[in-house]
Amino acid sequence: MNHYMRSPSSHPGLREAPVAGIERRIATPSETEGGPGDRWDDLTAHDLDRCASFKCRSCIESRIASVRLGDVDLARIGLGTNRLTNTPHNAAFIKEAIAAGVQMIDTAHSYTGGQSEETIGEALSATTGSFMVATKGGIGGPGQGKPEVLRAQIEQSFGSLGTDRIELYYLHRVDPVTPIEESLAAIKEYQDSGKITHIGVSEVTIEQIERARRVVPIAAVQNEYSIVQRKYDAVVDYCSREGIVFVPFFPLRGETPGRAAEIAKQHQATPQQIKLAWLLRRSPAMLPIPGTLSLDHMKENLAATEIQLSEAEFNSLN
C-alpha cells in the first residue's frame, strides 16, 4: 500500500519561515531601493507588519515561494479533479501534472462517482516525488456528516486511492443535521490512529472553523473564492493570521474583469493567469486548485506563480 505525501521539496535560497503555515521570501530593502541585493530575508509576523513602510510591501505576497502544510512545502498552484474520470488518458495526465510541478492534487469521495480517486490512485501508485493528495467526504445532503457515514466513505477512499494513509482529509460540507464536532470527531479517530495526517474543512465560516479547531487542529480551509466571488474575504484574512492554508475552489469561475485583460497584456499573460496571480497576491496562505483536464491549461496555471502584480495592479483589480 502507498501513502500520498512524498518527501518535502527543497527550495534553494529559502529557509523555513518563522510564521506558522507560510514560507515567504522577501526582497531586502537594498533590492527594493534599486540596489543589487544578494539575499532573501525571512519575515516574522512583526516584520511583515513593519514592511508596510518599505517599498517592498507591494511585492510581498507575489514573492511567496510556497505554502507549508504541516512539514511539507507545497507549490502554490494545485490541481482540482472534480471532472476526472478513469481513463488511460486521464491517468497519464495526473502523472504529467506531477512531473510538471503540481504538488497538491485535490479530489473527493464524491467526484465522478469515485472515479477521480481511483484514477489518482492508479496513476500515482508507483510515482515518487514531492506531492500531496487531499480528499474529502461528507457531502450530498442531510446525514452525510454522520460519523458512521464518514467512516464508510473514508474506508472507501483508502481503497480507491490505494493507500494506507491520507495526508489531508476534509469534511466536505457541514451537515445541517449533525454537529460539526461529531463529524470531525469521527475523522479525528483516523488521525489518532495515524491513518489521516491533516484535517481540513470546506465551505465554512470563521465561527465554524473555530468550533472545528476545538475538536482537532485544522490545517486547511477549502471555500469557493475568486476575484469575483469574495464572500469569504474575512475567512481568507482569518486563515492568513492563523497560519491555516486557504484553498480556493473554482478560482477561475465567473466573469473576467476587463482590467484583468489589460494587465494580462502588460505581463504577456492570459486573463486567467492574472486572476490566479491576484489570488496569490491576495494572501500568503492561498493555494488555488483550478480544475482542468488539459496539460496545456495546467502548465499555464502553474506559470501564474511567476507573475508579480504591482500594488497598483492588485488594487485596480479589487
Q: Indicate whether 3 belongs to any domain.
A: no
pLDDT at 244 over 90: yes
pLDDT at 92 over 50: yes
Q: Indicate whether 113 belongs to any domain.
A: yes
Residue 35's pLDDT band (boundaries 50, 70, 90)?
A: very low
Q: Indicate whether 54 belongs to any domain.
A: no
Residue 130 sits in which domain range? 76-317
User: What is the distance between the alpha carbons of residues 277 and 310, in angstroms, rounded to a whole number?
Assistant: 11
- Which three three-digit cell numbers place residue 155? 474506508
Sheet holding 66-69, edge to edge: 22-23, 66-69, 72-74
Which residues are known catalytic residues?
Answer: 111
- Domain count along the chain: 1
Q: Indicate whether 35 belongs to any domain.
A: no
pLDDT confidence of residue 15: 27
Identify the three-state secondary structure at position 36.
Answer: coil
User: What is the distance between the alpha carbons of residues 63 and 48, in angstroms, rounded to a whole number?
Assistant: 13
pLDDT at 46 over 50: no
- Per-residue buried b or exposed e for 269-299, using 16+ beta carbons within 10 Å of the residue's own CB: bbbbbbbbbbbbbbbbbbbbbbbbeeeeebe
Per residue in 136-189, pLDDT (tens digit) is: 999 999 999 999 999 999 999 999 999 999 999 999 999 999 999 999 999 999
CATH of the domain at 134: 3.20.20.100
Angle between the 206-213 and 180-192 helix axes, to the nearest 10 degrees?
40
Q: Indicate whether 5 belongs to any domain.
A: no
Residue 114: other Cβ atoms inside 10 A: 18
Average pLDDT, integer, range 209-234: 98
Burial of 1 (0-12, 13-18, 19+ CB in 10 A): exposed
pLDDT at 260 over 80: yes
Q: Indicate whether 285 belongs to any domain.
A: yes
- Which three three-digit cell numbers place residue 53? 513602510
Q: Indicate whether 36 belongs to any domain.
A: no
Q: Indicate whether 47 belongs to any domain.
A: no
